[in-house]
């Protein structure tokens, strides 16, 4: 509606935004800087359009969630129809048709006995829910001392206090909010390029990192540990794709010590990695998975914690067993209706398979960049990919330690029509509908960006 806006009107909107709109994770000074504010007004397919009418590939697909692409009127219509019929009903007391269908659908899509679905309105809520389920699961089974969660360095799990406590991505600044949970032991991240435990191959790194979790459980005392939480592939740790041994060993370790295993699939779920769920690459069924983002591709705010039957059964009995937890918007009917159509599209259009195919193509196109002086590694799975930028290949010091390098590169990419997150890595998580030519165009823009930044920095 505001496309091709006059400068004067843009300035008025900018001033209003700077005065009133608080941006998550952003420093106000950065937003206030020249060109620091972008206002988006439209999107179609893989591209998003700003208020000046400029179109860009959205290399991050929103926040790694617009799986089915922009502009799906079918989803908007489903939400509209549901809101017209019944936009809301007391979600603590009543079921609605879309909520029932969505729970059944998610149960049928997830592996193994993951059949019980607690609906939420986002990823942090889903993680918070999983953590509270884990705590009460042990209490209900007479093991109330199992209160600790184990997380991994670099992992991101959300921003509510419980989710923050297991959040180990540096940008969340968790220390500011201490004390949160009593103690959250940190396990190593199975990132082969920078294996903390010195593993020389992906397999060696995976085995050492998974075995280290057992070491932590034993050190803490297994009777005090509630759960291990981990993303199948951690985006915040720079798209850390573990070797094939990691998840099976983690499963065995958790089973051996009566510890629940939570797979946080908020980003990896619904095709992002070329399988419906990230854990499917590893043939492992966790006790719970948390999802959000791709369940609606962002058309509505919906999430879920999906638990194994054995977990849900621990909550059946007298009132003391009831899970004392819920959100006003758990199972919101319009959200559930949007999710159902979004999932239809993912399945009908074969977007999981497309993610696998286009992900391979993207990786093939980007891998030659490894020969360049500022690229330390290129890795990914499905349409979740990282180009790791280094100042020095031998020391692996991040290129982002050179002041201004990352913003300069981001600017070049955006000038060429690609919006993407640039820091220690160029992270690419585009929409799952990409075509061959779109993949090639994105890869060319990234290649140009790498050449440009090398030139600017005098490599």
Ligand X SMILES: Cc1ncc(COP(=O)(O)O)c(C=O)c1O
Contacting residues toward ligand X, per CB under 6 A: 63, 122-124, 127, 156-158, 231, 235, 264, 266-267, 292
User: What pairs with residue 392 in β-bridges?
Assistant: 397
CA atoms within 13 A on the CB side of 317: 10
354-385 burial: b if 16+ Cβ within 10 Å, else e: bbbbbbbbbbebbbebeebebbbbbbbbbbbb
Nearest residue (CB) to ligand X, 292 versus 418 = 292
Nearest residue (CB) to ligand X, 122 versus 243 = 122
Q: Give the H or E element holding residue 56.
A: strand 55-58
Nearest residue (CB) to ligand X, 132 versus 393 = 132
The dihedral built from the CA positions of residue 106, 108, 111 and 114, taken in this order, carries a sign that is positive
Q: What are the φ and ψ backbone dihedral angles of 412, each rounded to 5 degrees?
A: -60, -45
Q: Which residue is nearest to ligand X (CB)?
A: 123
Q: Mapping DSSP to helix (H, G, I), strand (E, B) and coil, where does residue 306 land?
A: strand
DSSP state of 351: H
- Structure tokens, 15: 């001033």
Q: What are the φ and ψ backbone dihedral angles of 13, each rounded to 5 degrees?
A: -65, -40
Supply the minimum distance, in Å, between the C-beta of residue 65 and ligand X. Answer: 8
Q: How far is CA 426 from CA 166, 294, 366, 376, in A?
A: 25, 21, 11, 12
Query: Residue with structure tokens 């050190």?
Result: 219
User: Would you tell me the crossing angle of helices 351-366 and 436-457 to the nearest 10 degrees?
Assistant: 30
Query: Residue with structure tokens 């929409």?
Result: 431
Nearest residue (CB) to ligand X, 63 versus 419 = 63
Supply the minimum distance, in Å, between the C-beta of residue 304 and ligand X. Answer: 12
Nearest residue (CB) to ligand X, 127 versus 165 = 127
Report how far residue 90's alpha carbon sits from residue 443's, in angstroms, rounded to the nearest whole number. Answer: 48
Query: Residue with structure tokens 């505001």?
Result: 2
Supply the minimum distance, in Å, between the C-beta of residue 189 and ligand X. Answer: 13
Nearest residue (CB) to ligand X, 199 versus 278 = 278
Of 359, 364, 358, give the one whose Cα is nearest residue 447.
364
Supply the minimum distance, in Å, between the C-beta of residue 281 and ligand X. Answer: 16
Nearest residue (CB) to ligand X, 207 versus 290 = 290
Nearest residue (CB) to ligand X, 140 versus 429 = 429
Q: CB atoms < 10 A from the CB of 325, how many?
A: 15
Report how far residue 277's alpha carbon sits from residue 284's, in angstroms, rounded to the nearest whole number. Answer: 11
Nearest residue (CB) to ligand X, 199 versus 274 = 274
Supply the minimum distance, in Å, between the C-beta of residue 268 and ligand X. Answer: 8
């Amino acid at each position: 509606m505001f496309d091709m806006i006059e400068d004067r009107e843009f300035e008025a909107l900018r001033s209003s935004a700077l005065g009133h709109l608080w941006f998550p994770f952003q420093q106000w000074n950065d937003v206030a800087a020249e060109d620091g504010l972008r206002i988006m007004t439209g999107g179609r397919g893989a591209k998003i359009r700003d208020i000046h009418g400029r179109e860009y590939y959205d290399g991050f697909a929103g926040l790694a969630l617009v799986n089915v692409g922009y502009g799906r009127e079918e989803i908007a219509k489903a939400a509209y129809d549901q809101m017209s019929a019944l936009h809301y009903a007391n979600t603590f007391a009543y079921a609605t048709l879309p909520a029932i269908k969505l729970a059944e659908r998610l149960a049928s899509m997830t592996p193994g006995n993951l059949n019980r679905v607690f609906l939420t309105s986002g990823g942090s809520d889903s993680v918070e829910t999983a953590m509270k389920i884990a705590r009460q699961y042990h209490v209900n089974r007479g093991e109330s001392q199992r209160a600790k969660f184990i997380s991994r360095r670099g992992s991101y799990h959300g921003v509510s206090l419980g989710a923050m406590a297991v959040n180990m991505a540096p940008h969340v600044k968790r220390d500011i909010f201490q004390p949160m949970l009593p103690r959250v032991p940190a396990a190593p991240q199975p990132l082969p390029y920078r294996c903390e435990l010195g593993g020389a191959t992906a397999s060696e790194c995976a085995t050492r990192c998974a075995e280290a979790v057992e070491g932590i459980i034993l050190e803490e005392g297994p009777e005090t540990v509630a759960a291990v939480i981990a993303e199948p592939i951690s985006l915040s740790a720079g798209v850390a794709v573990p070797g094939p041994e990691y998840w099976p060993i983690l499963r065995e370790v958790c089973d051996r010590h009566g510890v629940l295993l939570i797979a946080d699939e908020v980003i990896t779920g619904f095709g992002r990695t070329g399988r419906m769920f990230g854990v499917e690459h590893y043939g492992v069924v966790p006790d719970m998975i948390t999802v959000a983002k791709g369940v609606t591709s962002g058309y509505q705010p919906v999430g879920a914690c999906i638990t194994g039957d054995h977990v849900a059964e621990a909550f059946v009995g007298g009132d003391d067993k009831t899970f004392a937890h819920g959100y006003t918007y758990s199972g919101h009917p319009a959200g559930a209706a949007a999710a159902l159509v979004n999932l239809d599209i993912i399945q009908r259009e074969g977007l999981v398979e497309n993610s696998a195919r286009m992900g391979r193509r993207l990786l093939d196109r980007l891998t030659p960049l490894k020969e360049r002086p500022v690229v330390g590694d290129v890795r990914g799975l499905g349409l979740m990919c990282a180009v790791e930028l280094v100042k020095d290949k031998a020391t692996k010091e991040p290129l982002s330690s050179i002041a201004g390098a990352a913003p300069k590169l981001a600017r070049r990419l955006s000038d060429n029509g690609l919006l993407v997150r640039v820091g220690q890595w160029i992270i690419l998580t585009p929409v799952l509908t990409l075509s061959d030519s779109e993949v090639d165009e994105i890869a060319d823009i990234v290649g140009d960006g790498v050449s440009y930044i090398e030139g600017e920095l005098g490599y």
